[in-house]
Structure 1
Amino acid sequence: MNIHFDFSLDLIAYITEFLAWCVIGFIVYRIYKKQAAKPKVWKVIVSVLVGIFCISINLQFFGAILKIPILPLGVWILYGILKRMEGRWQIYRRFAWLGFWANFIFLAATLIAIPAHLLLYPEDEVSTYISNVENAAIINIHPSAGDHSLNIEKLQSQLHNMRQETSYSEEWYEETYKGADSKKINERFPYQLSGTLSKWGSGVKVIIYVEADGKGILVTAPNKQLYFRCKDSLLKGGK
């Protein structure tokens, strides 16, 4: 398979992979109908699945792993087994090769899924990562965190108005730790946002931190960080 997004339940990836299998199934059916010698269906399926095995190279592209087929390992295996059986290779040869070429169908599906995913789930919009906030809350994860709670109404009203800004990880680290007493460090993001759900179908898995002033949100994914700012603080209460 070629669809391997960092998102665990990516709806677009599932749909395009399903369509790819439909295309493969249709081609199998056409080949089967045209053959004079009709092999058993289960053997046809096995031939296609074995033919999919290949040696490939992996390339990362917009958060997806593209597998580029290089050598038809499965086809070679089937040939090595069937060449000793008279006429068998001729019967299953086209199905085995279809299995190998199916890798390119999956590759095409991935290339279609990537822009479709970015269109439906923009990476630069916080609403992709925070959609349902009914059960949202903040957790103090650093001693410098104040005695605050989350203002859910403010979060809900500002979701579509938050601006993405450049995150300055190195500068923030320098400001926080350079020359500071380890017991008096003021963490820039002392709160973690919990209980939220990402946009349905996106499948994104992120950890979200809230800035000490309540106006900044840091979205941390396995391969990137995104920083958003809002006009009003998301925190309430405190001493």
Structure 2
Amino acid sequence: MSTHFNEGALPWLMTAIAWGILIIGAVFFIRRQKNPAPFWKAFFVIIVGVFTISYTFEPKGIMVRIPILPLGVWILYFILRRENGRWERYRRFAWFGFAGNILLAIMSLAAIPLSFIIYPTDNPTTYLSNPQEVSIIKSHPAGSEVSLDHNKLSEQLEGMKEAKTDGEMWYMESTVEDENQTTSPERFPYVLNGVEPMWGSGLSPLIYVEGDGKGLLILSGDTQYYYQLSESIIKGGGVE
């Protein structure tokens, strides 16, 4: 199965850290020069040097920009070369800004494995962090009026194990075979309402509940997980 992360808090945090390191590094770099240029001018040149033409891709849904062409450096070169010695004086700051893009790319790439560590995709608590606050609603006519057993859901959530899915069998089960049958059967006639994933994950899960209350189907982006429970988490509707 593939896994998709939307832009959550972690990529933004890693980018903010990278910018913090870049700004602090720029201050130290400027002050360490033997013949320092005016601070604000040197700092401005560094910021312009950050602008690049980049190759952008999204591994696991996290945007990463790899610098290709130093657009900011070129702009500064054509502007500063008009006066003798200005480009030579400021070019080190322009290239420092371009190099900062490498740090930004590294931090973005580092967010990918960190996301899987902090938000494990095979752990149902990543998608359902508030089991005591959710409710269950009927999403298909085949469902009955039932209520959610919050205690049983909470007790089993941590120990849930992923089970194999059989999409072909489920499709066959949901097919109307009898002309007198008014509605098709549905394996997951309920959905959990008010689901909150782990804070900062950027996930948008949709969690379906099996008709007997002993199975959860979690959908998030292009991710699909099916979990079987030892005890039913629903009450009423003829379910024991």
Q: Give the TM-score normalised by structure 2.
A: 0.83
Gaps of 5+ in 1: none
Residues 174-210 of structure 1 deviation map (CA, whole Å, 9 limit, x = unaligned) = 4323757694112222222122322234342222221
Equivalent of 2:139 in 138, 141, 150:
141
The answer to whether 1:236 aligns with 2:220 is no
Q: What is residue 70 of structure 1 aligned with on the other side?
A: 68
Which has the larger displacement, 130-139 or 164-173?
A: 164-173
How many corresponding residue pairs? Answer: 233
Give the 5 Å matches for 1:117-132. 117-132=115-130
Aligned counterparts of 2:176 and 2:77: Cα–Cα separation in 1: 65
Q: Give the TM-score normalised by structure 1.
A: 0.83
SS class of match (1:172): helix
**Alignment identity in percent?**
39
Q: What is residue 49 of structure 1 aligned with on the other side?
A: 47
Q: What is residue 195 of structure 1 aligned with on the other side?
A: 194
SS class of match (2:29): helix
1:173–1:84 distance in 2 versus 1, CA, 3 Å: farther
Q: What is residue 110 of structure 1 aligned with on the other side?
A: 108
Query: AA paired with 2:56?
Result: N
SS class of match (2:185): coil
Aligned counterparts of 2:193 and 2:47: Cα–Cα separation in 1: 42
The answer to whether 1:59 aligns with 2:42 is no
Aligned counterparts of 2:166 and 2:54: Cα–Cα separation in 1: 37
- 1:160 CA drift (Å): 0.7
- Does the Cα contact within 8 Å between 2:76 and 2:94 map onto a contact in 1? yes
Residues 80-106 of structure 1 deviation map (CA, whole Å, 9 limit, x = unaligned) = 333334443334323322232222212
- Does the Cα contact within 8 Å between 1:134 and 1:196 map onto a contact in 2? no
Which has the larger displacement, 77-86 or 224-233?
A: 77-86
Rg larger for:
2
Aligned counterparts of 2:43 and 2:184: Cα–Cα separation in 1: 62
Aligned counterparts of 1:47 and 1:169: Cα–Cα separation in 2: 57
- Does the Cα contact within 8 Å between 1:8 and 1:205 map onto a contact in 2? no
1:50–1:186 distance in 2 versus 1, CA, 3 Å: farther
Q: What is residue 207 of structure 1 aligned with on the other side?
A: 206
Query: AA paired with 2:220?
Result: A
- Does the Cα contact within 8 Å between 2:173 and 2:186 map onto a contact in 1? no
Which has the larger displacement, 13-22 or 114-123?
A: 13-22
Which has the larger displacement, 17-26 or 227-236?
A: 17-26
Gaps of 5+ in 2: none
CA root-mean-square deviation? 2.6
Aligned counterparts of 1:180 and 1:110: Cα–Cα separation in 2: 55
Equivalent of 1:84 in 79, 82, 99:
82
- Does the Cα contact within 8 Å between 2:42 and 2:93 map onto a contact in 1? yes
- 1:58 CA drift (Å): 3.1
Moved over 4 A (4+): 178-183
Aligned counterparts of 1:166 and 1:45: Cα–Cα separation in 2: 56
Aligned counterparts of 1:233 and 1:197: Cα–Cα separation in 2: 21
1:175–1:87 distance in 2 versus 1, CA, 3 Å: farther
